[in-house]
Chain A
Amino acid sequence: MGLSFLAPLFLAGLIALGIPVWIHLIQRQRGQVVRFPSLMFLERIPYKSVRRQKIRHWLLLLLRSAALALVIAAFARPLLENDSAGGSGFLGAREVVILLDRSYSMGYGGRWDQARHAVRTTISELDREDRATLVYFDVAAHAAREPSTDHARLLSSLETAAVGAASTRYGPPLKLAQSILESSALPRKEVILVSDFQRVGFEDEVGVLLPEGTEFTPISVAGPGSSNLTVGGVTFRRQAFAGQTRVSVTARIVSRSPDPVEKVDVVLSVSDLVMERRSVDLEANGSATVTFDPVTVPGPFTTGTVSAGEDPLPEDNRFHFVLSPEEAVPVLVLDGGGSSSLYLRQALEIGSEPPFAVTVKRASQFRAADLSGSRVVVLNDASLPGGGAGDRIRDFVSSGGGLLVVAGDRTGWSAESADLLPGTIGSPVTQADRKGGKLGYLDYSHPALEIFSAPRSGDFTGARFYRYRPLEMNGSQGVLARFDDGTIALVEKRIAEGSVMVLSSTLDAVWNDLVLQPVFLPLVHQLIKHMASYRPPRAWATVGQVVALDQWNIGAVPGWEEAHPVVVTPSKQRIPLDVGRQGAFIQASEQGFFQVEEPDAGGRRLAVLAANLDPQESDLTPLDPRVISEAIGVGGNSGEVSPPPEATTPEDRERRQSLWWYLLATAFLLLATETVVANRLSRIAR
């Protein structure tokens, strides 16, 4: 227990303790002023040597001084308090920043209630002059209100606070505290951090340095041990079956418990219907995967949830996702006839993510109508169709379509459409080396080739190229691949919204053996997906992310913003969809499903976004708060972890403030004694 004062300014009255001494030494027998004709003679007498400087009655002096000190102390309202809660005392007002962790891990057991109680106690023990700021934080931090001495409003803010859905980051709140403290002129500064101190929330480089002299008080609400089950994520395996999409869901279950967990009930729900239950055993701090039987995706925006077991932190035991039937990418292949498109067709038709709808036609039979519904045109060893076809294909490309030109013997190009190509296609060249040439350079930074950059992600070195059509062009812009002799093998040219790619060799087994290589299939898929501007639909987002609906391919339809769609949040709030020039955006602020509806069309769903908690936050492993205190530059005794304060009742608080009664009573006793003693001494003196 420590002692502080509710009204420390009264202690300035201790200066009055000098009054009795002054009376004794200077004015002890001071009476009325004697008006005397002249001090001429008196001033000649060395008066300092007289006895008035002596204190005759030490007992009286002590009694008076003690009584006065007690009265002053009583007025200062002494308060007995816990050592963890420091009052202003003599040292002046404090600038106190209370950082309250509201990340979803604080929902574990009774941590949130403990944390709120700790903050409530801290606020109630602030001195009236202390200025306080209550900062809530998870991945971001915001102050409940400006720094204020109105502690009651802080308490009311605390009553309405709730655990959030985001993860923990200690950097933002500490930076906010730094800025608040740096702008404060109060003499004492203190940061109180109330959290469960998860290790995952701390970054080595927080970039925060609290002002010198700042006291840092961490209050940990983390218990001695914790166990937590988490659905760490799901993966999907899609299959096309009878014109429908079937999806096999595999969930990853993680146990963060020091003990093994047996028979964890894992449930797959689709459209709020339980589809399958599985039981799984988990080792201590182990994980397991559960693969469910394939389920048919009945339609767009089918919602699904995997849940696993029960524990004190139930929020991360669920994982939400959204599935839609896969839409095939339409591809139009124009060739010169024969079997030149055999490998290409086969490669595309076995694509599942996404599937490709391949249409093969002779180039001579090309009609403008064939372009409608196509997203990519492959001119496979064929000349550009005559007539206005060149213009229509240019329009097709300009509006976002893709054109892949596979150069072969039959490839011809009219001069009018030469601007579509990145260069001029030369006559066929046969490699002098009978072994053929190889690809000597690939631009792995290109989005279409990026997936091949990792080791063992696609071997191009096995492909042999015996014949090719050299491509003459100025510069090397857009070159994606070259043969080992330096000639261009693959090049891209962007035209407005679309792109044109030229492969200088064929996609059959005559001019090269690329089609026989394992890398052929993914290469073709990647090139077509790239030119079709294909983006896989995202099944979920993490809380805190801002999702652009069209870029995530989860339901955006051009022009839909004119329907004034609204977003129904998981907590059933209806808010207008944020539609801007860059598209429509949803901020995943909580866990669950965000549904975009069209009010004018009877609530027709335009898009659905599943939002899940950050699985990292499920790791409740605590961090030693001293690591934080060292990182933010507070030394000394700061950083010692304080336990959450015990609950105090009004009676208890009153009892801790009742010292002044005793002080005042003692002072009166002393004054009474002083009166008796003074009278006796006076009588004796007479």
Chain B
Amino acid sequence: MTVFRTEAQTETPGGSFLDPRVLARIDNLELLARTVVDGFINGLHRSPYVGLSVDFAEHRAYMPGDDIRWIDWRLYARTDRHFVKQFEADTNANFVLLLDTSGSMDFGTRGVSKLDYARFLASSLAYFSSKQRDRVGLVTFDHEVIDYVPPAVKHLNVVLNTIARLQPGGASALGPPLVKVTEALKRRGVLVLVSDLYEEPESVLNAVKNLRYRGHDVIVFHLLDRAELDFSFDKAAPFEDLETGERLPVVPDHLREQYRSLVQAHTAELSRRFSDNRIDYVLINTSTPLDHALFRYLSERQRLSRTR
């Protein structure tokens, strides 16, 4: 297995951190995910919901004591032997990625846009979850749901293909698409929201907390480019909103500090409100290696599993 590293990343605690710019050279998302995940960690994972599933896994010979409801009578008719069907739901959970593809996600200053980063992150998480035999699903949205891949064990390829086809665009609004997600996902599971969250903290929380109230475990990855965080522009220029097309003449030297403080206040408010609602919130600078995000995720998951 090949692990791509940079000198800078080797200094990062935690080991094999992967540079997003290197990952961007890998066209195949499955390969990318495997590269990331296999080289990273095989963490424990437990479904948050124990119950029945309709996902068929395999047959095994009937043994006394087995519930006769699970005998496959068609197989019995063909083989004259009793087999019982085994379902994966016994041990796996729903894992649904909620991916923001709005226009603002098409921003990046280091060769990798936020959407690219989200794509890598989502693929890796999907692959990782699939390896954990979770049912993987995907919802992409801007101000409405664009693609919906229902969670299923065998939907990894569908999910990865859908992620590969993603095109940024449209205005973002969390509320309407997440309401639809809430209605569509009846079964509790793990929901991972990947977005840049350019909305007021109040409306973001209103959109996300419904998912939490349905019993889902929600993890929010707040993706921001480094330029969005430190506003490291130097020349005065008109700034154009990627979603609305609106332009504003900006002299960065004279706005930087105010901007930074506004962004910090925004992220702090989001963190506070998510925390209050027991929602995992991870702010990710897209210039940081991808495995750093995965590490943050798994750490959170372990914490959740311990507390559940």
Contacts and interface: CB of A to CB of B under 8 A. Distances in A.
In order of increasing CB-CB distance, the 4 nearest A-B pairs are: A37-B104, A29-B236, A38-B198, A50-B254
Nearest to A36: B239
Interface of A: 26-45, 47, 50-52
Contacts of A32: 237
A35 B238 CA distance: 9
Contacts of A31: 235-237
A45 B255 contact: yes
Given A45-B258, A45-B259, A50 B241 contact: no
B241 A34 contact: no
B229 to A, nearest CB: 11
Given A36-B239, A37-B107, A41-B259, 14 more contacts: A29-B236, A29-B251, A33-B237, A33-B238, A36-B240, A36-B242, A37-B241, A37-B243, A38-B198, A38-B243, A39-B241, A40-B198, A42-B255, A45-B258
**Prevailing SS type, chain A contact patch:** loop
Given A34-B233, A36-B107, A41 B262 contact: yes
B257 to A, nearest CB: 10
Contacts of B233: 34
Contacts of A35: 107, 239-240, 242
Contacts of B235: 29, 31
A30 B250 CA distance: 9
B21 to A, nearest CB: 19
Residues of B contacting A: mostly: mixed
A30 B248 CA distance: 11
A29 B105 CA distance: 28
Contact of B236 (A37, A43, A44, A52): A52
Nearest to B198: A38
Contact of B255 (A37, A40, A47): A47
A50 B258 CA distance: 12
A26 B247 CA distance: 13
Contact of A41 (B103, B104, B105, B266): B266
B246 interface: yes
B249 interface: yes
Given A37-B107, A52-B251, A30 B246 contact: no
A52 B249 contact: yes
B217 interface: no
Nearest to A27: B249
Question: A28, A31, A36, A51: which has the most chain B beta carbons within 10 Å?
Answer: A36
Task: Name the interface size band of chain B.
Answer: 20 to 34
A51 B241 CA distance: 23
Contacts of A44: 262
Contacts of A45: 255, 258-259, 262
9 contacts: A26-B249, A33-B237, A34-B240, A37-B198, A42-B255, A45-B255, A45-B259, A47-B251, A50-B254
Contacts of B103: 37
A50 B243 CA distance: 26
Interface in B103-147: 103-107, 114
B263 A41 contact: yes
A35 B266 CA distance: 21
B291 interface: no
B250 A42 contact: yes
A145 B192 CA distance: 90
A27 B114 CA distance: 30
Interface string B218-238: 000000010010000101111
B19 interface: no
Interface in B205-227: 225
A40 to B, nearest CB: 6
A292 to B, nearest CB: 102
A30 B236 contact: yes
B261 to A, nearest CB: 9
A198 to B, nearest CB: 73
B237 A47 contact: no
A541 to B, nearest CB: 87
Nearest to B103: A37
A666 to B, nearest CB: 33
Residue of A31, A33, A37 most packed against chain B (CB within 10 A): A37
A38 B254 contact: no
Contact of B240 (A29, A33, A51, A52): A33
B196 interface: yes
A38 B199 CA distance: 10
A289 to B, nearest CB: 98
Interface in B260-278: 262-263, 266
Nearest to B104: A37
A47 B240 contact: no
Contacts of A40: 198
A349 B255 CA distance: 128
A32 B251 CA distance: 13
Contact of B228 (A30, A37, A47, A52): A37
Contacts of B266: 41
A51 B103 CA distance: 31
A44 B255 CA distance: 10
B239 A50 contact: no
Contacts of B228: 37
Given A41-B262, A47-B249, A36 B255 contact: no
A579 B254 CA distance: 99
Nearest to B236: A29
A35 B239 CA distance: 6
A38 B104 contact: yes
